[in-house]
Structure formats: structure tokens, C-alpha cells
Amino acid sequence: MLNWLRDIDLRRRSQAGLNKGEARNALARAIFFCQFRELRDRTFENQAYRASGLNLVVAVILWNTRYLQLAAADLGVSSESMQHAAPLGWEHLSLTGDYAWDSDDQPAPGELRPLRAKPSILAA
């Protein structure tokens, strides 16, 4: 306890770890509850479907990891800096509504979609 109080670097690392954990929990809550903060499904079957949606958390993290790796390489971000990045963002997801995928727009197996164009701030 005294080491933690004396060592500001240890406290910063601890806080960064806690922040990543909270980001993971926020992602899980958003997917599980669709941000309604309650389970609105009445039947056990629908509740089970909702709970199995938590598997999407793993898929989102995997997707983000692959694209963060591609984006970091494209922008020339060092691997040392990437140690502080967490693939837990979910702002790019629509958590409600219908999804439609155009099969002609899919990348070939083993390939990734191209990155979006760099914002002008980063291009300069």
C-alpha cells in the first residue's frame, strides 16, 4: 500500500488498467442491454439470445485489434505507443436496427477492408 502511495508511476499504470477494464465493461453493457440499462425480454429464449450477444464483445475486440494494427502501421505509430491503445471502442457500431451486407462489397477471404481516408489534420 505504501509503495502505491509513494510511486506515482505505479498509480498511473494502475489507473490505465482500470480504465481499460471499465471500457470493456461499457462495451459489454452496451451490447447486452442496447443501453436500455435493463433486460426487457420476457421469455427465457429471448433472454438467452440477449446474453449470447455478449459473444459479440469478443468479435468487436478482434475486429478493432486487426484494424488498429493496420491503422498504426499506415500512420507510422510505434509499437511502444500502441502498448497504451485498447481495442475497446464501439462508437463505430450501430447497436440497434437492422444490418444489411452487400455480398459484392465484401473483401476476399483473408483480406481486410481498406482504411478510410486520413483526416486532413493527420495528412498534413
pLDDT digits (tens, 9 = 90+) for 32-89: 665 555 666 678 787 777 667 667 777 888 888 888 888 888 888 888 888 878 887 7
Res 97 pLDDT > 50: yes
So what's the pLDDT on residue 80? 85
Contact 31, 53 (CB under 8 A): yes
Res. 124 pLDDT band, cuts 50 70 90: very low
Give, in order, the Cα–Cα distances in Å from 6 to each of 9, 11, 17, 70: 9, 9, 18, 39
Distance CA 3, CA 5 (A): 5
Which grid cell is 45?
429464449
For range 1-30, the mean pLDDT = 79
**Using the 8-state DSSP alphabet, how is residue 110 labeled?**
T
Average pLDDT of every residue of the chain: 76
User: What whole-number distance in Å separates Cα of residue 83 and Cα of residue 72?
Assistant: 11
The C-alpha atoms of residue 85 and residue 72 are separated, in whole angstroms, by: 10
